[in-house]
């Protein structure tokens, strides 16, 4: 069964628009990394993450390249609020990191 949503994903360019802190976000991540891989310049991936108020943190959907430090974070180019993209009757699991995007 396929369920369609009527919502359009509103993508925001970063750093032109700063996301809300501590809310789950869909992220478009540059696949090239820093320093950039010439093979991957212009390529992107989608991940789920959040904005801490100072930086993006990826929590799902993007793997840290091998040989990168554990605190390495990918370069995010665009973000969208995930809660507004979900089908009706879908509730996110409560997590104190993300209270603003979870219904009571």
Domain boundaries, the chain: 12-95
Average pLDDT of the residues in 46-64: 83
Q: What is the mean pLDDT of residues 16-32?
A: 89
The predicted model scores a pTM of 0.75
Average pLDDT estimate for 69-82: 80
How far, in Å, CA of 21 to CA of 87, rounded?
23
Please provide the average confidence, as pLDDT, over all residues in the chain.
Answer: 78
pLDDT at 26: 93
For 8, the token pair is 């359009």
């Amino acid at each position: 069964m396929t369920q369609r949503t009527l919502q359009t994903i509103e993508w925001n360019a970063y750093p032109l628009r700063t996301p809300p802190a501590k809310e789950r976000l869909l992220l478009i991540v540059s696949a090239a990394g820093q320093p950039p891989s010439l093979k991957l310049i212009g390529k992107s991936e989608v991940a789920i993450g959040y904005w801490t108020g100072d930086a993006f943190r990826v929590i799902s959907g993007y793997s840290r390249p091998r040989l990168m430090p554990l605190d390495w974070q990918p370069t995010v180019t665009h973000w969208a609020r995930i809660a507004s993209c979900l089908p009706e009757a879908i509730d996110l699991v409560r997590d104190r990191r993300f209270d603003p995007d979870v219904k009571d």
